[in-house]
Amino acid sequence: MRARDLDTLIASGMGAVLVSVADTKGSTPREAGALMIVTENSALGTIGGGALEFRAIDQARQMLSSGTADEQVMDLPLGPEIGQCCGGRVVLSLRTGDRAMLEDLREELTRRQSGQPIVLIFGGGHVGTALARALAPLPFRTRMIETRADVLPADLPVPHTVLAMPEQEVRTAPAGSAIIVLTHDHALDYLIVSEALRRNDLAYVGLIGSKTKRATFENRWRREGNAAEPMERLVCPIGGDAVKDKRPEVIAALAVAEIATALLDPAR
């Protein structure tokens, strides 16, 4: 659930129940802090799906229809009793609220999102757009950078910036950011990649292309007197080469898995 997802619900003035995972033990489908908003005819977000979520939605709607309970707790074992086999236990908090509660939640979600990792997509072509669509719902602050305003689709689901010198965005990106390079120009690709490799604090530097393109970039990098080690951090081709399907959506799906692993894996 993202902060902007609440805008329509807040504007509607509908009553809602905030369902949150208060505590977990053992194997559970979601972690403590996961949220879901339930109204009389819809649910926004997820606490893990399955029978657990169905029970929470049912209880929330009973609270809405009766109007008698402001807050309830559900302590559910994830076993045969509810038809799930995770084996853990989940404690849920259910709280009815009004517009003020939803506005407070939106503020909290906005605060959480402000700390999410940054992903910069350089290039708004077919693969860049597919990447933007795949990354948009994930817990990242994704932005696209292009040099040509006329190539950007009207329904691009992430913010964008048009710059004549896109490499400047690499220099100012926060530590831990992900950089994905797939412009229309190999010379521009190299310029952006070079800026990224001069830093040692980025979580992911990816370049669309082939093994030949990587070798060409590496040879140029070495001819310019740079050390070999930074080039080892470059992921090219993005998404790997095990799957031969070159459709933009397939490349994007494979690359997003790499990016998510780099940004969300606490061991990295």
Domain layout of the chain by residue ranges: 3-113, 115-264
Answer yes or no: are the C-beta atoms of 19 and 38 closer than 8 Å.
Answer: yes
Side chain identity at residue 10, one-letter code: I
Q: Is the pLDDT of residue 50 over 90?
A: no
Domain 115-264: give its CATH superfamily.
Answer: NAD(P)-binding Rossmann-like Domain (3.40.50.720)
How distant, in Å, are the alpha carbons of 27, 64, 79, 205 from that of 221? 47, 63, 57, 15
Query: What was the pLDDT predicted at 191?
Result: 96
pLDDT digits (tens, 9 = 90+) for 145-170: 999 989 898 999 999 999 999 999 99
Q: Please enumerate in sequence order all residues whose Cβ is within 8 A of that of 12, keeping only pairs 6 or more positions apart, or say none.
A: none
**pTM value?**
0.81
And the tokens for 189?
A: 């690709």
Task: Identify residue 19 by its one-letter amino acid code.
Answer: V
Q: What band does 178 get if pLDDT is binned at 50, 70 and 90? A: very high
pLDDT tens digits along 197-251: 999 999 999 999 988 999 999 999 999 999 999 999 999 999 988 888 999 999 9
